[in-house]
Amino acid sequence: MKLSSVDLAHSTIIVIDIQNDFCHEDGCMARGGKDVSFVQSIVPGIIKLVAEARRLKVPIIHVKTEHSQWTNSPSWLKRIADVDVSGLLRPGTWGTEFYKVIPEPGDYIVTKHRYTAFLDTDLDLVLRSQDTKTVVLLGCATNVCVESTARDAFNKDYYLVLVKDCLAAYSRETHRATLVTMEENFGAVVSSPELIAAWQAMGRAVEAGARVA
């Protein structure tokens, strides 16, 4: 899929799991030994891209994760071998709060309990209601929640755009491997400047058409 074919009027930004427990140096992942510096490094780019998306009136969805005794199963609690996840992302705690990328009025928030943002949430309903054709994915971790969401989006027949400088994982190797797989089999992998330039060009074309009409 060429980026030029992504219709500005039918795209939605999805920001995945930019929360304290995933991103902050005092969060659960960092306390468990994960290096969060790569994840933190993408946040300024996400903020910039989200601001431009708002200006262009692209819908923005923030996905957050919460876990509790109501949603944790025995297998789910064993999912990360070297991190104690029993206190991760508990509802109502600092760890679940958004890390620097703060939703604004008019944004939508989806709460998930597994890796993919589509499982047992209203994400698909919201996307269809907004006439979304293309989902633009930002956030972390590239190889886990982002990839799981991307695969489900593709299987639901959405076009995919992954913004490589607005995605990160706890390993640069797994981050890169996921982007290769996505680009070869699922959708477009682009930089935020490329996406912004393409959207701005589309916006100018729409304005020019409106003036001619």
Distances (CA, A) of 21 to 67, 87, 163: 12, 10, 22
For residue 213, the model assigns a pLDDT of 47
Cα 171 to Cα 11, 21, 123, 168: the distances in Å are 29, 17, 28, 8
Angle between helices 43-55 and 192-212 (to 10 degrees): 10
Tell which residue, 117, 119, 118, has the closest CA to residue 139: 117
Alpha-carbon span 42 to 37, nearest angstrom: 9
Cβ atoms of 111 and 64 within 8 Å: the answer is yes
Instruction: Identify the CA nearest to 155 among candidates 118, 122, 110, 109.
Output: 118
- Report which DSSP code applies to 96: G
Cβ 100 vs Cβ 39: under 8 Å:
no
How high is the pLDDT of residue 100? 98
Please give the chain's pLDDT, 213 residues, in tens: 566 557 788 999 999 999 999 999 999 999 888 999 999 999 999 999 999 999 999 999 999 999 988 988 888 877 776 666 667 899 999 999 999 999 999 999 999 999 999 999 999 999 999 999 999 999 999 999 999 999 999 999 999 999 999 999 999 999 999 999 999 999 999 999 999 999 888 877 766 665 444
In this predicted structure, what is the pLDDT of residue 202? Answer: 84
CA distances (Å), origin 186, targets 92, 136, 148: 35, 12, 12
Structural domains in the chain plus CATH codes? 3-212 (3.40.50.850)
**Cα–Cα distance measured from residue 56 to residue 58, given in angstroms and rounded to the nearest whole number:** 6
Query: What pLDDT does 203 receive?
Result: 76
What pTM was computed for the model? 0.92
